[in-house]
Amino acid sequence: MARVLLFGRLADAAGWRERTVEADSLSALRAALTASDAQLGEALAGPGVQAAVDKTILRGDAPLTAASEVAFLPPMSGG
């Protein structure tokens, strides 16, 4: 289980910004999100989209707990 946050155009595309998802790893979370919304799954795997677990950007997989916060970040635009 993890708290999932979407930012920028990802939130617009999905129609939500925050949701709790049952998953025990980042790869399982991506699979669950893709299963419920194929378009979102594609957007999450798109160029420049980064994943942060507990506010640290990660490449590759990571275990998740009920307390984990996963954020999907599209390319940062600056202010």
**Site map for another protein, 1-40, x if CB under 8 A?**
----x-xxx--x----------------------------
Nearer to another protein, 31 or 58 (CB): 58
Nearer to another protein, 29 or 71 (CB): 71
Helix (H, G, I), strand (E, B) or coil at 11: helix
Other residues' Cβ atoms within 10 Å of the Cβ of residue 17 = 12
Nearer to another protein, 12 or 22 (CB): 12
Where helices occur in 1-79 by DSSP H, the ranges are: 9-14, 26-36, 38-44
